[in-house]
């Protein structure tokens, strides 16, 4: 009976000793330098990965630049196409035709004319062929008019720099003749220099289609 108690006591002691040994081993393993190194390495690797990702986004904004570049290229392409279409409207016409239409668009009394008559008058031509006292044009001029007197007319000479000299010459002469040289000389000297605006290409093109050259 005594021996049995001794054996039971020894069993209890051994069990307690074994439990303490396991706890000590686990604590030692957790506190060991190798375990700490492995844990620190994992944390450091994760931190380095985040830093690399952040640096990559800051130093290499390729995606954002590419998107901006594509957007800019798209806008420039649209503007280029629009400008090209605008130029193409008048590309089929001569500079002279464009000039006639622009002059009439700015100065013509009637914009709804059926035809835009264009007559070239050479230098030395009398202003009024029916009056012997009439002065002559000192330079080549162009006379624009409609098919009716009420459409009005524009008589001018071009300066080649976007401006023209406009003469106040009537399309039809009404009055008492001979009028005298001073009358005609005043008409010539009182010409006005005017800068011609390009205007809207579509409107200019429509006027060009109505041009009718006169002898």
- pLDDT exceeds cutoff 90 at 128: yes
Beta bridge partner(s), residue 126: 136
Question: Cis link prior to 126 (omega < 30° from 0)?
Answer: no
Rounded to the nearest integer, the mean pLDDT of the chain is 78
**pLDDT 10s digits, 156-209:** 999 999 999 999 999 999 888 899 999 999 999 999 999 999 999 999 999 999
196 DSSP 8-state letter: P
The pLDDT value given to residue 21: 46
pTM for the full predicted model: 0.61
Where are any strands of DSSP class E within the chain? 116-121, 141-145, 153-158, 163-167, 192-195, 211-214
Rg, the chain, Cα only: 49
Q: Which residue has the tokens 């957790």?
A: 30
The pLDDT value given to residue 32: 46
Q: Which residue has the tokens 């904004």?
A: 61
**pLDDT 10s digits, 99-114:** 999 999 999 999 999 9
Higher pLDDT among residues 35 and 166, named by residue: 166
């Amino acid at each position: 009976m005594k021996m049995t108690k001794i054996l039971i006591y020894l069993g209890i002691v051994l069990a307690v000793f074994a439990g303490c040994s396991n706890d000590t081993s686990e604590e030692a393993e957790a506190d060991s330098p190798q375990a700490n190194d492995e844990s620190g390495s994992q944390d450091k690797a994760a931190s380095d990965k985040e830093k690399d990702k952040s640096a990559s986004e800051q130093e290499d904004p390729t995606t954002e630049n590419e998107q901006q570049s594509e957007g800019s290229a798209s806008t420039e392409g649209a503007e280029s196409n629009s400008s090209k279409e605008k130029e193409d409207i008048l590309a089929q016409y001569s500079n002279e035709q464009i000039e006639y239409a622009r002059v009439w668009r700015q100065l013509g009394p009637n914009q709804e004319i059926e035809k835009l008559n264009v007559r070239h008058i050479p230098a030395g031509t009398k202003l009024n062929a029916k009056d012997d006292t009439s002065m002559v044009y000192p330079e080549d001029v162009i006379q624009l008019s409609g098919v009716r007197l009420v459409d009005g007319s524009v008589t001018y000479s071009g300066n080649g720099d976007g401006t023209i000299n406009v003469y106040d010459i009537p399309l039809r002469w009404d009055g008492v003749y001979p009028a005298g040289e001073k009358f005609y000389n005043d008409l010539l000297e009182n010409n006005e220099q005017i800068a011609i605006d390009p205007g809207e290409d579509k409107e200019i093109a429509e006027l060009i289609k109505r041009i009718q050259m006169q002898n």
